[in-house]
Structure 1
Amino acid sequence: MYRLNRITVIFAFVLVLAGIINCAASESSLSIEQTFQKAKKDYLEKNIDSAAKQIKKGAAYMRAEAVKASSRGKKALDDSARELDKLADDVKKGAVESVKKIEDVFARAYFALAEESYIESTEAWAKKEAVKTGEFLDAANKNLEKGMIWAGQKVEEKTTGTMKKSRELSLKLKQKGRLITEEVGKSLQAIGDEIEKFGKRISSEGLNEK
């Protein structure tokens, strides 16, 4: 009888664990942009509990991304998750007086995502995996663009040009077109520089200096 009960308990635990894993997988597949947009909308409409809940979802997403991230990109994603958790708590306590604070935290989340995508693109290119390089480069570009929108920063002409070339290159890579190694290397370096520059602009220290 004892053995039967033990087996039942173990089986029940496995089922619960499987449910948790499936739930997490489903959650991570949701659009982080939709989550952020809803959080902002709820905050502006004074639906504070819902806004805090959405921000917590964003933190969970970033934490899930950190788990599967490269060693170089993991810290920024973890830091973003913690910052989102704190923001959610502050929102719930009524300690956030401006939507700009929320937007800045979301911008930094996108910086972390852009940085990780960029790292993965360079690692994929080092392995000569053109399609993966293109996919990660495309993700880096999109995350950088969304981050800039949330930060409300004017995009410089040079940055616009770099992002345009990056989009074109990612498309070529995904289509398995013939590319010169030097061309890819220069484009990866250029978008990496833009991501780094954006990160410095939206860092907590940088924003406090304004």
Structure 2
Amino acid sequence: MANNYYLKASEDWAKKEAKDSGRALKAAAVYLEHAGNWSGHEMETGAAEVIKGAHVVAGKLIKGAGWGAEEVSKGIKDIGHEIAKLGKVIETKKK
């Protein structure tokens, strides 16, 4: 689910749909956090900071004020990176 919302946030951002991108980014962060908990994988400090940052950026997008394009792009990119990292950890545990 986290990856689906990450992709939606990316697509919405590319279409300049800020509020929709914010909602999707927030959902991606929530589902990433849940996935980490469900997998039993303790999130690294960096991942926790990315999740926190994604919530902040998402809130700004949803409100419609106070965000910068670079900040949003970085927030979306970073959450995608953390989702991919967790996916690799989970795949490794399965083997």
**TM-score exceeds 0.5:** yes
User: Whole-Å Cα distance in 1 between the matches of residues 51 and 33 of structure 2?
Assistant: 8
User: Whole-Å Cα distance in 2 between the matches of residues 193 and 130 of structure 1?
Assistant: 21
Paired residue total: 95
TM-score, normalised with respect to structure 1: 0.44
Q: Which residue of 2 aligns with 1:29?
A: none
Q: Which residue of 1 aligns with 2:19?
A: 131
Q: Which residue of 2 aligns with 1:153?
A: 41
In the TM superposition, what is the alpha-carbon distance from 1:176 to its structure 2 partner? 0.4
User: Whole-Å Cα distance in 2 between the matches of residues 181 and 138 of structure 1?
Assistant: 17
User: Whole-Å Cα distance in 2 between the matches of residues 179 and 156 of structure 1?
Assistant: 26
1:34-83 Cα offsets, whole Å, 9 max, x none, are: xxxxxxxxxxxxxxxxxxxxxxxxxxxxxxxxxxxxxxxxxxxxxxxxxx
Question: Quick check: 1:169 aligned with 2:61?
Answer: no
Structure exhibiting the larger radius of gyration computed from Cα positions = 1
Structure 1 gap segments, 5+ residues each = 1-112
Question: Quick check: 1:207 aligned with 2:93?
Answer: yes
One-letter identity of the residue aligned with 2:67: L
Higher relative contact order (CA 8 A, sep 6+): 2
User: Whole-Å Cα distance in 2 between the matches of residues 162 and 178 of structure 1?
Assistant: 18
1:100-134 Cα offsets, whole Å, 9 max, x none, are: xxxxxxxxxxxxx1000000000000011110001
In the TM superposition, what is the alpha-carbon distance from 1:207 to its structure 2 partner? 1.1
Give the alignment's Cα RMSD to 1 decimal.
Answer: 0.9
In the TM superposition, what is the alpha-carbon distance from 1:179 to its structure 2 partner? 1.9
User: Whole-Å Cα distance in 2 between the matches of residues 186 and 168 of structure 1?
Assistant: 12
User: Whole-Å Cα distance in 2 between the matches of residues 194 and 120 of structure 1?
Assistant: 16
Q: Which 4+ runs in 1 deviate beyond 2 A?
A: none
One-letter identity of the residue aligned with 1:115: N
User: Whole-Å Cα distance in 2 between the matches of residues 160 and 140 of structure 1?
Assistant: 13
